[in-house]
């Protein structure tokens, strides 16, 4: 009888605990950033913000270093409900062509400029474009201002890129831009880049300092040329369908943290730009300031192509340029 009583007590306890346990959600955040990267810091800050308010309702868990897949794979896993958040940047131009505007060389002048752009086009243009593809943006963070590293020569002007085998992210406009400059660009998953540079499959790549440093590209690259050719936003992205099925109180916390994390990201990114450039120089990579005017002059055909081949492209370019006046 004592044994039966114990079994009955355990059964009652299990039944009582069941509904509460079922409410505990694990929300997976996958990204491609390595330890020490801005992506890692950004995702961790978002998780800290969310978990501080979610209590026992849900927990955000972060998986970096492409543990849950490449950017392209994470986009697919969002739709399948296998991950809950991803942090794509350049690859977004392959999701919706409107995002290619951020691939236009030197179109974003500063973080303050980017904030004005976000206020002007997020709800009216960017959000509808991704929702049409089954996604939703809950925060616009950043990857940063991009620069070129390679093992062939210092890059001072576009002509110096002639024949350089350059890894790019997936996105047609980055490829078109570097083809215009004379390089041989090839899209490649970020997790594969170090080995490609080390073995000579690629001569170089282009990324913000935080990605260069955290991925240790300076160990397999001779030259760093400060071009700042593109500023890439990063998007805290969810599946519109699966995210919409979360409890409203959970979504409210996540929406708030998605927006609030931006200030942390921008401050951290600005600090990293100074700190990491010093570290890269100290590490022995040869650094030069590129002639940005020469790159700007060579970039007009990319703007013209986007303006004529993307619906509303010229209007979007004009909007961003106007918002950057005086920046």
Whether this prediction's pTM lies above 0.75 is answered by yes
- On whether the CB atoms of residues 182 and 159 are closer than 8 A, the answer is yes
Flag whether pLDDT at 174 surpasses 80.
Answer: yes
Query: Which residue in this structure is represented by tokens 């794509």?
Result: 88
- On whether the CB atoms of residues 136 and 237 are closer than 8 A, the answer is yes
DSSP assignment of 121-136, as one string? HIIIIIHHHHHTTTEE
Please state, rounded to an integer, the average pLDDT across all residues of the chain: 93
Q: What's the CA gap between 259 and 235, in Å, rounded?
A: 11
213 closest CA partner among 239, 230, 236, 194: 194
- Which pLDDT score is estimated for 13? 41
Q: What's the CA gap between 302 and 317, in Å, rounded?
A: 11
Under 8 Å CB-to-CB from 41, ≥6 apart: which residues? 264, 265, 268
Flag whether pLDDT at 5 surpasses 80.
Answer: no
Query: What's the mean pLDDT in 159-166?
Result: 98
Find the length of the chain.
327
Q: What's the CA gap between 121 and 108, in Å, rounded?
A: 14
pLDDT tens, 26-69? 999 999 999 999 999 999 999 999 999 999 999 999 999 999 99
- Which pLDDT score is estimated for 24? 81
- On whether the CB atoms of residues 86 and 78 are closer than 8 A, the answer is yes
The full set of domains in the chain, from first to last, is: 2-323 (3.40.190.170)
Q: Give the sheet arrangement for strand 204-207, strand by strand.
A: 184-187, 165-168, 204-207, 147-150, 223-226, 286-289
pLDDT band at 18 (very low <50, low <70, confident <90, very high): very low
């Amino acid at each position: 009888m004592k044994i039966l009583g114990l079994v009955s007590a355990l059964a009652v306890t299990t039944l009582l605990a069941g509904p509460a346990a079922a409410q505990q959600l694990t929300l997976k955040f996958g990204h491609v950033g390595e330890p020490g990267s801005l992506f890692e810091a950004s995702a961790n800050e978002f998780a800290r913000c969310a978990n501080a308010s979610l209590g026992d309702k849900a927990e955000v868990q972060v998986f970096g270093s492409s543990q849950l897949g490449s950017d392209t794979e994470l986009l697919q896993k969002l739709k399948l409900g296998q991950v809950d958040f991803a942090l794509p940047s350049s690859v977004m131009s392959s999701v919706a062509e409107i995002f290619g505007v951020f691939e236009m060389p030197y179109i974003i002048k500063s973080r303050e400029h980017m904030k004005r752009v976000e206020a002007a086009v997020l709800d009216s243009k960017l959000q509808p474009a991704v929702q049409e593809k089954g996604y939703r943006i809950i925060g616009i963070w950043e990857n940063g201002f991009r620069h070129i590293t390679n093992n062939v020569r210092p890059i001072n002007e576009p002509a110096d890129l002639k024949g350089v085998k350059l890894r790019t992210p997936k996105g047609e406009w980055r490829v078109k831009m570097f083809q215009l400059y004379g390089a041989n660009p090839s899209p490649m998953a970020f997790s594969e880049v170090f080995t490609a540079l080390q073995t000579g499959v690629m001569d170089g790549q282009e990324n913000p300092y935080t990605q260069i440093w955290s991925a240790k590209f300076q160990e397999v690259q001779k030259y760093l040329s400060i071009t700042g050719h593109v500023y890439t936003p990063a998007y805290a992205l969810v599946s519109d369908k699966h995210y919409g099925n979360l409890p409203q109180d959970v979504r409210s916390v996540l929406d708030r943290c998605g927006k609030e994390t931006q200030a942390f990201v921008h401050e951290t990114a600005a600090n990293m730009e100074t700190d990491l450039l010093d570290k890269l120089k100290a590490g022995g990579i040869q650094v030069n300031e590129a002639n940005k005017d020469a790159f700007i002059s060579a970039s007009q055909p990319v703007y013209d192509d986007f303006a004529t081949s993307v619906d509303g492209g010229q209007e979007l370019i004009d909007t961003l340029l106007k918002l950057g006046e005086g920046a």
